[in-house]
Structure 1
Amino acid sequence: MIRNLFTLLLALAIGFTTFAQDAYMDAQAQEIEKTYTGGKAYEVKTYTQKFKSDKPKNIIFMIGDGMGVAQVFAGLTANQGKLFIENCRHIGFSKTQSADNYTTDSAAGGTALSCGIKTYNGAIGVDTDTIPVKTILEEADEKGMATGLVSSSAITHATPASFIAHQKNRGMYEEIAADFLKTDIDVFIGGGIEHFSKRADGKNLLVDLEKNGYQVESEMNKIKKVKKGKLVGLTANVHTDRVPERGEMLPVATKTAINILDNNSNGNGFFVMVEGSQIDWGGHANSTIYITEEMLDFDKAVGEAIKFAAKNGETLVVVTADHETGGMAVEGGDMNTGMVKANYTTKGHSAVMVPIFSYGPGAEQFIGIMENTDIHAKIKKLLSDN
């Protein structure tokens, strides 16, 4: 009884905290935004399915926040019938429910993927009793692998945070930022400068990161030039802008992080999580334009991952979502022009299964319907088999 009351009160506190800081969830789409009219399609390459071994040395874990089947199909239609994600021949589905809710949030969904446990909505790397649980990134680090995080939101936001931090409330951004200094992560790129440098405690964690050997940069034209060593790339005060404003930030950051980690790995392999954050935000806004732009951007990042994996031959790419957002239904479209018309059942998350796509050695493990925690378990086993 006491534990249930605690969970309820904590959930309410989380709701008030995140409501204040995550204003993107209040975005309202005009009716005209229900239709994406189309744009110039980008070239999609098909890559070899031949790999050097049956087990991966490197793992690239990609999360399209809020990405359901409809979002994928919207992107496929918008790019006139082709996506990089189609290189993934092995496909499954993930059940996303959290420990306390039929409809998960990104914190519980991210923690299920990162830690392999079901927890309450709002939890970051902790179980239902708020006890920290080791993440897959931390386990990779303990194995001597190079590690990284990339996000098109603040790097302290729920999904990336769940791979590196342990906090009872997803809205504890400054505490999450401090957790980055408790790890030996090689590279992280995303927004969130203010959570490191303009803090209530008066500390400037960027100074501490530099003392720990990190190169700290805030401009993508400088970030993309880094080839090795430890890098902090913080590209926005809080969240990055939408695709039309931020440009190729996510695909470029993905390529940069992969190259750094490959050079830093010393033959021990690497683990990186890449999040396409704002597919979710477009879903909250019920904006087909926003969703489609972000879906195409995320697919380009997937393309960078698969391009590396195809050449490397020892890299597994797993692409999935923490949940679907918006209850999106594609009602019309045109594969020739890229037009997509959609409608929505909610401005929040839905509870439907989300897709899993995989490419590379070990990809066959991710076929079928499974719990989101099973994705973690399969990745963990593949790493332990090395």
Structure 2
Amino acid sequence: MKWIITALICLTSSINSMAIAAETKHPNIIYIIGDGMGPAYTTAYRYFADNPATKTVESTIFDQLLTGMASTYPDDDTYVTDSAAAATALATGTKSYNGAIAMDHEKQHLTTLFEHAKAAHFNTGVVVTSQINHATPASFLSHNESRRNYDDIADSYIHNTVKGRQIADLMFGGGQQYFIRPNRNLVQEFNNLDYQYQSDINDLHKFTRLPALGLFAAKGLPPALGSEHPTRLNQMTHKALQLLTQEKTPFVLLIEASQIDWCGHSNDISCAMAEMDDLAATVTQVKQYIDKHPNTLMVMTADHSTGGLTLGSQNKYLWQGPILKQVKLMPAALAEMMQKQPDHAYQIWHNNTGIKLTDIAQASLTKLSAEPDPELLTHFIKTKIDQATLTGWTTKGHTAIDVQVFAYGVEADKFSGHMTNSDIAQRLFKLVQ
């Protein structure tokens, strides 16, 4: 009888130990950055996506997951950050100067969340629509005094290791021209380190395990608008989650909707809404993943806002965002088509935007289509789309306004209220021990 009691005690202790282990298992972390995505972008997306058949304006996935706001100022007196300083704060928990890649003012390395995670035996992954050595992913994987040192940053993805392992087990995005150069073939070096490699996004299904490297464009991926793969961020995220999950190891995954920022710099609202649509699909997928894998945390924010986007212009109390659903191609692509067929410029315009133009505007469109400078025509196209939708912009650069914070899953309550961008990283560091 005594041995039975002893066995039961041991069994109970074992079960309790297993329960405690399950409770204390490191959470997976999915860190999403909408580059340039200030509050006006998520607001615009709400009205862009609104169902006109209903009186109520439907909430979006962004509305559903909003938990707080963050300030983005860099470590100087400008108040306006660039992507590198913002990403450094979001990756290391320490603010630095504009242009810094995980370095402080003294050019000393700052430990990144990915380096911390790798030391704690996490797997790590990066999914971006820019080149993978652009400012945001670089600030998680590298250290450099300038974001412009693209080749050096790419090289560091081989050399920067923790416990003999590269910092990222998975990297999906663009950047072929930086990784296959006349003086060095980094792709071959990654192959030698047992990374699976694909150069065509149509071959995502060929990835079967980690480590994995996918470079799907020379630089950034094609924009979502008019693309063969309008939800390419969502596609890459799906494969990344599949590969990371099958490892049965906690992971940190960085996802960046990189090109919202590029649309903002270009003051291109149709481009921006297409990128937001891809991000919305991605966040929806991540939420569904967390519902099935509850020991997972998603935190999303923006590094800054770009372009000074505003909804409503020309002193009219109106924004016509749903018109943007009719726009099928990027303005530059439209301009290229028109210049090939200047006599059919208006027909091309109408077929691809559905927006009517005055006789004077039609004449200007035809005239610009016959001229050699595509930039003038592209600018005209964007201006007419802005006028039709009553969209306004204040700058081609960044602004200092606060950005949103979104969270879902385990420990999401730690990301509510107002914080600064470095606070977000500091709170994530505590979850990776």
TM-score normalised by L of structure 1: 0.81
How far apart, in 2, do the equivalents of 1:87 and 1:147 lie? Answer: 27
How far apart, in 1, do the equivalents of 2:400 and 2:289 lie? Answer: 33
How far apart, in 2, do the equivalents of 1:158 and 1:263 lie? Answer: 29
Letter in 2 for 1:366: F
Which residue in 2 is equivalent to 1:263?
A: 246
Change (3 A) 1:328 1:56: farther
Which residue in 2 is equivalent to 1:371?
A: 420
Which residue in 2 is equivalent to 1:217?
A: 198
Change (3 A) 1:297 1:175: same
Q: Does 1:67 align with 2:37?
A: yes
**Is the contact made by 2:112 and 2:140 (CA closer than 8 Å) also made in structure 1?**
yes
Letter in 2 for 1:270: F
Cα deviation per residue 1:283-308 (whole Å; 9 max; x = unaligned)? 11111111111111111111121111
Q: Does 1:174 align with 2:155?
A: no
Which residue in 2 is equivalent to 1:351?
A: 400
SS of corresponding position for 2:246: helix
Give how far 1:56 is off.
6.0
How far apart, in 2, do the equivalents of 1:338 and 1:124 lie? Answer: 36
Q: 1:207 aligns with which of 181, 188, 194?
A: 188
Structure with the largest fraction of helix: 2
Q: 2:96 aligns with which of 87, 94, 119?
A: 119
Give how far 1:258 is off.
1.3
Trace 1:107-186 onto structure 2 (pairs within 5 A): 107-181=84-158, 182-183=160-161, 184=166, 185-186=168-169
Give how far 1:338 is off.
6.8
Give how far 1:336 is off.
7.2
How far apart, in 1, do the equivalents of 2:178 and 2:428 lie? Answer: 30
Give how far 1:249 is off.
1.3
Change (3 A) 1:330 1:275: same
How far apart, in 1, do the equivalents of 2:144 and 2:134 lie? Answer: 12
How far apart, in 2, do the equivalents of 1:54 and 1:357 lie? Answer: 24
Give how far 1:84 is off.
2.5
Which residue in 2 is equivalent to 1:97?
A: 73
**Is the contact made by 1:56 and 1:362 (CA closer than 8 Å) also made in structure 2?**
no
Which residue in 2 is equivalent to 1:320?
A: 301
Give how far 1:333 is off.
3.4
Q: Which moved more, 1:324-333 or 1:97-106?
A: 324-333
Q: Which moved more, 1:247-256 or 1:167-176?
A: 247-256
SS of corresponding position for 1:141: helix
Cα deviation per residue 1:12-44 (whole Å; 9 max; x = unaligned)? xxxxxxxxxxxxxxxxxxxxxxxxxxxxxxxxx
How far apart, in 1, do the equivalents of 2:414 and 2:189 lie? Answer: 40
How far apart, in 1, do the equivalents of 2:188 and 2:321 lie? Answer: 50
SS of corresponding position for 2:300: strand
How far apart, in 2, do the equivalents of 1:159 and 1:366 lie? Answer: 21
| RMSD after superposition | 1.9
Change (3 A) 1:350 1:314: same
Change (3 A) 1:263 1:95: same
How far apart, in 2, do the equivalents of 1:288 and 1:215 lie? Answer: 37
How far apart, in 2, do the equivalents of 1:211 and 1:365 lie? Answer: 41
Letter in 2 for 1:157: H
Give how far 1:334 is off.
5.5
5+ unaligned residues in a row in structure 1: which ranges?
1-51
How far apart, in 1, do the equivalents of 2:37 and 2:419 lie? Answer: 17
How far apart, in 1, do the equivalents of 2:203 and 2:59 lie? Answer: 32
How far apart, in 2, do the equivalents of 1:57 and 1:378 lie? Answer: 13
Q: Does 1:76 align with 2:46?
A: yes
Trace 1:13-92 onto structure 2 (pairs within 5 A): 57-80=27-50, 81-88=58-65, 90-92=66-68
SS of corresponding position for 2:96: coil
Q: 1:189 aligns with which of 145, 148, 172?
A: 172
Q: 1:234 aligns with which of 194, 209, 215?
A: 215
SS of corresponding position for 1:238: coil
How far apart, in 2, do the equivalents of 1:335 and 1:165 lie? Answer: 39
Change (3 A) 1:108 1:282: same
User: How many positions carry a matched residue from both structures?
Assistant: 328
How far apart, in 2, do the equivalents of 1:55 and 1:318 lie? Answer: 18
Q: Which has the higher contact order (CA 8 A, sep 6+)?
A: 1
Letter in 2 for 1:218: S
Trace 1:297-312 onto structure 2 (pairs within 5 A): 297-312=278-293
Q: 1:293 aligns with which of 268, 271, 274?
A: 274
